[in-house]
Amino acid sequence: VHLDSLFTLDTVSYINYPEQMEILIDSTRSESLIQADQPFSISNLDGERSRISTLMRNNGYYFYNPSYASYLADTFAVNNQALLRFQLADGLPDEALRKWYIGHVDVQFRKTMREVLTDSVQRRNFTIHYTGKKPPLRPGVLLRNLRLRPRQEYNYDKHLESTAKINATGIFSSTDFNFTPRPGTDTLDLRLNCVFDKPWDFYVETNFNARTIGRVGPELRMGITRRNAFRGAEKIDVNLHGSYEWSTSSGKKMNNYDYGADASIEFPRIIAPFFG
């Protein structure tokens, strides 16, 4: 064993992949983390395995994961170089080698985890379940943040983007994406469980000010926040504030007070709030 020798990669080949997967890999070879003449690096090997997994999942292969591929390195054929094979495991389930397409999207709106849903509204391949006379959130608000669309290939990046955008509305305490393969097809039905956060928040803020001009005094702010005020993920904030200051300079008796109220409204995007 020679510990002072730097091993580099002589050749890199991807073995045992089906034709469609192999085409995807070849189309992104310039992005590979393992290239000929590079030093042999374990971190790069792990990174490439993750890159291939993400590549596959961004192109419909929902059930593919990094553990389905392994490396075989030959360090004897060429001096101080490794012939590297990135090979797909044998005996994988058929679902891992098949492209999947988004099917029916089923959205469930709940105010609490245990709430029983009694009503629904359907729009083509979308169904929204809720309790009450109308959905607590206008369907268009959710659908424009949901990047996964029926009859499109599953895409992992769009899955993550959808999760981030829906959570960024600030009105849900939890969101959960569940994908279920439809028997005998290449279709993934999506169930999206959304649990609303508490609609109201009350807050109190206190502060003690000390100014360089010799004034000190307390300050108080109290307010309430209403989430999803118009069923469009809007947020209304109303607060009352007041402060009182007195002078600490000798010979000066000067007191000052201030009070007022503020109100603000936030929209998730620039739209007319009562339409859509």
Rg over alpha carbons for the chain, rounded to the nearest Å, is 29
pLDDT at residue 250, rounded to an integer? 60
pLDDT at residue 102, rounded to an integer? 97
Q: For residue 126, what pLDDT band results from cuts at 50, 70 and 90? A: very high
Cβ atoms of residues 136 and 230 within 8 Å: no
- Averaged over 53-66, what is the pLDDT? 96
- Averaged over 108-124, what is the pLDDT? 91
Q: How far is CA 103 from CA 21, 148, 152, 181, in A?
A: 22, 10, 8, 9
pLDDT at residue 6, rounded to an integer? 85
**Predicted structure pTM score:** 0.82
Q: What is the pLDDT of residues 208-244, one digit of tens each?
A: 888 777 788 899 999 999 999 989 888 999 999 999 8
Residue 121: pLDDT over 60:
yes
How crowded is residue 129: how many other Cβ atoms within 10 Å of its Cβ? 18
Q: For residue 252, what pLDDT band results from cuts at 50, 70 and 90? A: low
Residue 3: pLDDT over 50:
yes
Residue 273: pLDDT over 60:
no
Q: How many CA atoms lie within 13 A of 199 on its CB side?
A: 10
Q: What is the pLDDT of residues 144-186, one digit of tens each?
A: 899 999 999 999 999 999 999 999 999 999 999 999 999 999 9
Q: How far is CA 95 from CA 22, 62, 100, 160, 231, in A?
A: 17, 8, 9, 21, 39
